[in-house]
């Protein structure tokens, strides 16, 4: 079960890309431990704290993978 803070943090995601920019690091570590997000390499303009929802994270947040064009 997610805490209210974790749910609020995950609301920062971009549903179209499944990306989230997380601060502070304590929240980030907990979400990684729960298997909801994973670090992803990102373009420099995206910042260094860019993470992607895992399959589990997408399921929890109700975010479906982007369909191919």
The ranges assigned to domains in the chain are: 4-60
Residue 3 has pLDDT above 80, yes or no: no
pLDDT the model gives residue 41: 66
Q: Is 25 helix (H, G, I), strand (E, B) or coil?
A: helix
Residue 21 has pLDDT above 70, yes or no: no
Residue 35 has pLDDT above 70, yes or no: yes
Model confidence pTM above 0.85: no
Asked if 58 contacts 37 with a C-beta cutoff of 8 angstroms, the reply is no
As a whole number of angstroms, the distance between CA 51 and CA 45 comes to 14
Query: Which residue do the tokens 């975010």 mark?
Result: 63
């Amino acid at each position: 079960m997610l805490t209210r803070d974790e749910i609020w943090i995950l609301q920062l995601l971009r549903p179209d890309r499944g990306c989230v920019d997380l601060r502070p690091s304590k929240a980030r570590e907990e979400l990684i431990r729960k298997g909801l997000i994973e670090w992803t390499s990102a373009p420099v303009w995206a910042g260094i704290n860019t993470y992607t929802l895992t399959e589990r994270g997408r399921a929890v947040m109700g975010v479906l993978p982007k369909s191919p064009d």
